[in-house]
Structure 1
Amino acid sequence: MPLVSTKELLTDARRNGYAVPAFPAHHLDMIRAVTETAEAMQSPVILQATPATLKQVGADFITAMVRTAADRVPVPVSLHLDHGDSFTTVIRCLRQGFTSVMIDGSHLPFQENIRLVKKVTEAAHAAGVPVESELGTIDASEMTDPADAEEFVTATGTDFLAPAFGTAHGVYRKAVRLDLARLEAIACRTGIPLVMHGASGVPPEEIRRSIRAGIAKVNFSTELKQIFSATLRRFLTDSPEETDPRKIFRVAREGVSDVIREKIAWTQSAGEPHRESPA
């Protein structure tokens, strides 16, 4: 089916008590693993690309691959810019047909972050595209203040917010400690779907508790990259004479599909595309 708006997906997720899993669109095999597994499990999914991926692959290639993959499956798929690093990057993705964009101004002072997100939101909304933003510092000790979050959302008009409540990008070096009371307060004061960044390594029960507290989108990336690399490395070691890229990458794609299946189960999104939303 054609690409759908991320806002449509997250609104339904928040209303019905699940979260939409978001996976990286690094290359064709990763994209196919996501959409084909989503079809098998009847789950909506988000494919997202960072500025680094856009630089490596090209926004036009990413859009074409994701759109083609989405057209082949009967489940909702959206295309998202993850951690957009500038207004220019956002505009480039809007022109390519991304169905949501994130602008990450979390490294900026509070008022500067507001100004940047408001500027992006005005441009994206003019194109009918929702915006994700970040407040607080994920990977650090600066957690998001609920009162600041309310002010931020009101001032910017952002559609989704990624708050800092104890998650971290990449590999966790110590036990995960999430501040779910803080998360629940942010959800109550903002009234918009919230996003969990750095979910690779977060135990499934903590993901489910976070969903109950307000999370409607969960980002997974590190674990997919790890299993893709490990499966590829193992296959090439065991089959040194194999030179056909089609066979080599098919094995890695199958390994990634197992992880995607697990994450879809954790977010409780399986079967959601065909549920009738309450009036």
Structure 2
Amino acid sequence: MTLVTTKEMLKDAHTNHYAIGAFGAHNLEIIKSVIAGAESVGSPVILQTTSSTYKYVEMPYMIAMAKAAAEQAKIPVALHLDHGESFDVVMECLRAGYTSIMIDGSKLSLEDNIALVRKVTDAAGPIGVPVEAELGTIGGVEDDFVVEESEAFFTDPEAAERFVRETGIDSFAPAFGTAHGNYKREPKLQFDLLDKIQKLTNIPLVMHGASGVPEESVRKSLDYGVAKVNFSTELKDLFAEEVRAFFQDNPNENDPRKYFIPAREALIELVKRKIMMLQK
């Protein structure tokens, strides 16, 4: 099948209290692993990239790989822009064929964030592409951007209600205690805050920085409107670990058709576990 949007899959997940896994698509091997893992449990899946990923891969290759993966897949596959940092980046992805967009104006004032996101929804809505946006600041490392823990702040529920209402977004990423990258200690998720945000916005919520969050906490978040959960760091860590381990045992091997196999197999199992964790 062709690439689909995230709109219907997130709407169904939100209604029925489960979540769709969204996985960082950094190269062909990871894309194939994500699809294989999702197929094995019969779940829709979201491939997502930041702008630095598609710039590294180069957009024509990124789109070709995602489309080929979707066409071969037995499950619905969406291609999502994660943390689009500007309107120009969003438009580049829309023109190229991304089927879901996140615009991240979380570092702006509330007024400027609303204006930027509204501009994106006005562009994406008429062509049927859903938009995700963020309010509050999620800490940690995302590509080359670092938000120190002291700089992160939680989403204000009343501001979230206004933000969602005035921007017309399809899904919302609140800051409620998760962080990008590796955690230095177990995150303390603010479920009371998440509950207030869900009741005031009533749209699918997105958990960023799920890598390393305990399963119990991830599953609990599904009761409070989380319908999309992002994973990236764990995939990259495991992929690198498996490649390193292969070369420790096979220092003279030079065939990527061999040294990527253990990494792919490990990622398939990881994706399966993550998706099953998101089912109720």
Under a length normalisation based on structure 2, what TM-score does the superposition of the two structures give?
A: 0.94
User: How far is the alpha carbon of 1:15 from its aligned partner?
Assistant: 1.1
Q: Deviations over 1:60-95 (max 9, x none)?
A: 211110110111121111000000011111111111
Aligned match for 2:244, one of 233, 236, 250: 233
Aligned match for 1:191, one of 202, 211, 235: 202
Q: Does 1:89 align with 2:100?
A: no
AA in 1 matched with 2:86: S
In 2, the alpha carbon distance for the partners of 1:59 and 1:180 equals 38
In 1, the alpha carbon distance for the partners of 2:59 and 2:200 equals 35
AA in 1 matched with 2:166: A
DSSP-derived class of the 2:169 partner: coil
Aligned match for 2:228, one of 206, 217, 224: 217
- Tell me which residue corresponds to 1:116: 116
- Tell me which residue corresponds to 2:153: 142
In 2, the alpha carbon distance for the partners of 1:214 and 1:60 equals 35
- Tell me which residue corresponds to 1:277: none
Structure 1 residue runs without a partner (length 5+):
270-279
- On the 8 A contact 1:25/1:62 being kept in 2, the answer is no
Correspondences of 1:31-110 after superposition (within 5 Å): 31-110=31-110
Q: Does 1:250 align with 2:250?
A: no
Aligned match for 1:207, one of 199, 205, 218: 218
Q: Deviations over 1:201-246 (max 9, x none)?
A: 0011100110111100000000100000000001011111211111
In 2, the alpha carbon distance for the partners of 1:236 and 1:75 equals 34
User: How far is the alpha carbon of 1:132 from its aligned partner?
Assistant: 0.4
- Tell me which residue corresponds to 2:146: none
In 2, the alpha carbon distance for the partners of 1:213 and 1:224 equals 26
- Tell me which residue corresponds to 1:275: none
Q: Deviations over 1:238-259 (max 9, x none)?
A: 1112111111112211121121
User: How far is the alpha carbon of 1:29 from its aligned partner?
Assistant: 0.3
- Tell me which residue corresponds to 1:7: 7
Aligned match for 2:179, one of 168, 172, 192: 168
Deviation >4 Å, runs of 4+ = none
User: How far is the alpha carbon of 1:268 from its aligned partner?
Assistant: 1.0
Structure 2 residue runs without a partner (length 5+):
140-148
- Tell me which residue corresponds to 2:189: 178
AA in 2 matched with 1:152: F
DSSP-derived class of the 2:180 partner: coil
DSSP-derived class of the 1:137 partner: coil
In 2, the alpha carbon distance for the partners of 1:119 and 1:67 equals 27
In 2, the alpha carbon distance for the partners of 1:127 and 1:200 equals 32
DSSP-derived class of the 1:108 partner: coil
Aligned-pair identity in percent equals 54
- Tell me which residue corresponds to 2:144: none
User: How far is the alpha carbon of 1:151 from its aligned partner?
Assistant: 0.3
Count of residues in Structure 1 that have an aligned counterpart in Structure 2 = 269
In 1, the alpha carbon distance for the partners of 2:278 and 2:55 equals 30
AA in 1 matched with 2:217: E
User: How far is the alpha carbon of 1:177 from its aligned partner?
Assistant: 0.3
AA in 2 matched with 1:23: F
User: How far is the alpha carbon of 1:191 from its aligned partner?
Assistant: 1.1
Please report the RMSD computed on the Cα atoms of aligned residues, expressed in angstroms.
1.0
